[in-house]
Amino acid sequence: MIAVLPTHFEDFYSRMARSHGGLFAIMHADGSFLARYPPLQDRSRTLAPQNMLRTAIATQPETGLYTVTSQVDAVERRTGYRKLAGFPIYVLAAVETAAIENEWRSIMAGHLVFGVPVTLLLAGIIVVALERTRRMYTEAERREAAEGALRQAQRLEAIGQLTGGVAHDFNNLLMIVNGSVQRLRRGLSKEDQTRFLDMITTATQRGESLTRQLLSFSRRQTLTPTVIDLSKLLPDLKDMLHRSLRGDIEIKVDVPTEPCAVRVDPSELELAILNLAVNARDAMPHGGTLALRAKPVKLRGEAVEEGLQGDFVALRVSDNGTGIPPEALPHVFEPFFTTKEAGKGTGLGLSQVYGFAKQSGGTATASSAFGRGTTITLYLPRCYDVVQPAKPEVRDEAQSGGAGRVLVVEDTPEVAEVCSAYLEQLGYAVTSVSSAQAALDFLERKGRVDLVFSDILMPGAMNGLDLARIIRERYPRLPVLLSTGYSGSAQDAVSQGFVVLQKPYSIASLRKCLQEAGAAPPTAVSGIVPSADERQESAGRRPKVLSASREASR
């Protein structure tokens, strides 16, 4: 063991004290200081037994850390101590709490001066990045929904093109079957024979109805739009719906006092509402409520598909039935898709509703809560034209037939034969050709017919509508009646003032359209094709615009 002067330790600790307020000391367990920096003027001073340091040593004899105001100089310090192994000696190190706070303030001031702007900048960048990320996800979700709607629309459009493509040939087949049945009826009288003919007739009518619904879905149905006020029409349809539904279903109609006029085909609108009512009836096997509501709305391109904008009338048909399962909801407007049991639905009701709404310039949407009901909404463009009162239909039973010569233009021989038989049964003389060019050659060569009855869709460079336009230009006084099982030009023909007869048709509907097209009355024989001089004389006259008419089939 060697002896060292206390000043030696004081010099050593003075070099260790790098900041103001530091304290270092060597203390005996009895509270006396062997060495201290800063040095004590009274080196014999001893800490009292109740001093916190001695109390801490008594409870934690090896090491400790505490904050205390010094008994020696009344300065508050953060103090730590450790015992030398094997000796009752303690080494102390302390820093003034004021110095710690000053150091903390100095460091924080530097951080605040330089760190706060950087932190705010980073926070701003993070906020902008989060907002852009949110917008990106929102845009991605919107695009995903739009792409889903587009794929759905493309799928429905493809199905529509397929159904429209086969409708013409299918209707021609129905025309041949129906016409053959009508001819057989004239020669058969036995009950068992006519019963089979009735069965064939019923089957052709069902086939016609299915084809008509498919054409409505594919938006290729020939429509005769009329301005209709839904505020007046829906209450009037209530009685018709009562007859189609059960007595345990309550029908509520809610319409505004203001006019809700739309320009649609009345029969197709009634069929759409009836289809929706029947679906609602089937969804409420134990009764319920069917609600029809009409309300003017303004679409801004986001509420419904395909970005429809402008003034519309929302026609909502709601029920509180079983609802539609979520996985089936996107497919409800597809043809032949149905959630009903086998034999209880064709799956064409909602497809007709969708096609009618789309062809009328709007759309249809479906919403449903499974087990709580379904709402189908038709968005129809609002019309501000004056609603014309319905004219009573005048029936002239005396006009049961006609007289004169009809030129039939039909490329399918069997259909031409059926059509000729119908016309001959009505009292007309018939000449048949198989193409539009052959019809023009016949008119130039023969020059005597009272009406041209032509199919619209025919092979070759000229279809029936082209033929009708040429006849209107060359022979302004010669009536033209067009027919079609399906053609994209049928609606154009209607808009241009030609009468269009939908295949398959009956003798009654043919007679009605012949009269509307301007065929010769029953006792008159007219319609000589004018000469070249007469054509020039009447070329400046405006041709008569004729309204379209088709027989509604249910």
Helix (H, G, I), strand (E, B) or coil at 381: strand
pLDDT digit string (tens) for 351-371? 778 888 888 888 888 888 888
Tell whether 358 and 419 lie within a shared domain: no
pLDDT digit string (tens) for 78-96? 888 888 888 888 888 888 8
Tell whether 273 and 318 lie within a shared domain: yes
Tell whether 414 and 290 lie within a shared domain: no
Long-range contacts of the stretch 529-532 (C-beta < 8 A, 24+):
529/443, 529/447, 529/448, 529/449, 529/475, 529/478, 530/475, 530/476, 530/477
Closest CA to 231 of 357, 315, 353: 315
The span from the CA of 401 to the CA of 398, in Å, is 8
Report field, pTM of the whole predicted structure over 0.75? no
Residue 471 inside a domain? The answer is yes
Could you tell me which residues are beta bridge partners of residue 368? Answer: 374
Q: What is the token pair recorded at 162?
A: 């397929």
Residue-level pLDDT at 543? 32
Tell whether 415 and 377 lie within a shared domain: no
Q: How far is CA 269 from CA 216, 237, 357, 470, in A?
A: 11, 11, 9, 34
Residue 372 inside a domain? The answer is yes
> What's the chain's Rg over C-alpha atoms?
48
Indicate which CATH number applies to the domain containing 258. Answer: 3.30.565.10
The span from the CA of 375 to the CA of 381, in Å, is 19
Question: Which parts of the chain have pLDDT scores under 70?
Answer: 1-4, 16-21, 41, 43, 149, 152-153, 155-157, 159-161, 163-165, 167-168, 189, 209-210, 212-223, 301-307, 336-348, 388-403, 447, 486-489, 519-554
Residue-level pLDDT at 454? 92
Q: How far is CA 54 from CA 32, 67, 93, in A?
A: 11, 13, 15
Residue-level pLDDT at 49? 79
Long-range contacts of the stretch 427-434 (C-beta < 8 A, 24+):
427/401, 427/402, 427/403, 427/522, 428/402, 428/403, 428/404, 428/519, 429/404, 429/405, 430/405, 430/406, 431/405, 431/406, 431/407, 432/407, 432/408, 433/407, 433/408, 433/409, 434/409, 434/410
Residue-level pLDDT at 318? 92
SS3 content of the chain, % helix, strand, coil (to 5): 45, 20, 35
Indicate which CATH number applies to the domain containing 437. Answer: 3.40.50.2300
Q: Which of 349, 381, 413 is the last residue of a domain?
A: 381
Tell whether 353 and 461 lie within a shared domain: no
Matching residue, tokens 């085909």: 265
The span from the CA of 160 to the CA of 151, in Å, is 14
The span from the CA of 216 to the CA of 211, in Å, is 9
Residue 399 inside a domain? The answer is no
Residue 447 inside a domain? The answer is yes
Residue 79 inside a domain? The answer is no
Check if the beta carbon of residue 499 is closer than 8 Å to that of residue 548.
yes
Residue-level pLDDT at 530? 38
Mean pLDDT of the chain: 77
pLDDT digit string (tens) for 480-496? 999 887 656 677 787 78
Query: What is the residue range of 320's domain?
Result: 226-381
Number of structural domains in the chain: 2
Residue 489 inside a domain? The answer is yes
